[in-house]
Amino acid sequence: MQHWIRGPLSRHQEINVVFFRGMSLDALTRRLLSVQRKPLAYGKGEDWGVVMHNMLSWERDDYGLVPYGQLCRDGGELAVFVTEPCAAKAHAPSFDYYRDGRLITHFSFDDPSRLVGAEPEFLESALTAVQVIGAEVVLGDDDDERIVQAIAACLALPELIMP
C-alpha cells in the first residue's frame, strides 16, 4: 500500500488531512463549512480526532489557503497535512501545526529544513532524528513517510489507516 501522504487520497480530489484536539468535531465541521470546505471523512479518538476535507472551496473553486488559525482559536490544536498542494504543478505535501489560533510551525516536504512559524524549532529534533534534516540527512524514497512518522510521534497523533 502506498502511504496516504502521496497517492491514495488524491484519487478522490485534493484532500487536506486535519488532526484536531481541544475542540469538538461539530465545532471544527461548522468552521470548515463556514470557509466553504466540505468535510469528506472524520474519526474521533481518545485524544486527537481527524477530518479530511476538500482543499478547494466548493463556491470559489480556488486554491486559497484555509484560515486554520481562525478555525482553532480558543484552545484548539490542528495538525494539518496538505497532501497535494497543487497536483498539476507537482508540489510536495506540506505540514502546518496550529495551537490556539497561532501558526506554531510550517514546512513543505520539499525542504523540511525550512521551518517557519511562531516556534519553527518545534519539530526540529523529531525531523533530525529521522534524518530528513540536519547533518546526517539520508535521502530516500520513504522521506515523506519518515516525515509523517516523525510528526505523528512528536504530537502523539493516531495512525491514519487507509483501505
Distance CA 68, CA 65 (A): 8
Closest CA to 96 of 111, 77, 74: 77
- Number of helices (H) and strands (E) in the chain: give both, helices first: 4, 6
3-state secondary structure of 96: strand
Give percent above pLDDT 90 in the chain.
61
Q: Does the pLDDT value for residue 143 go beyond 50? A: yes
Quick: pLDDT tens for 26-63: 999 999 999 989 898 899 888 999 999 988 887 765 66
Angle at 65 between CA 85 and CA 106, to 5 degrees: 70
Domain boundaries of the chain, sorted by first residue: 15-155
Q: Which residues pair with 78 in a beta bridge?
A: 20, 98
User: What integer pLDDT is reported at residue 87 of this predicted model?
Assistant: 55
Residue 1's pLDDT band (cuts 50, 70, 90): very low
Cell representation of residue 86: 497543487
- This prediction's pTM: 0.90
Q: Is the predicted pLDDT of residue 84 greater than 90, yes or no?
A: no
| pLDDT band per the 50, 70, 90 thresholds, residue 140 | confident
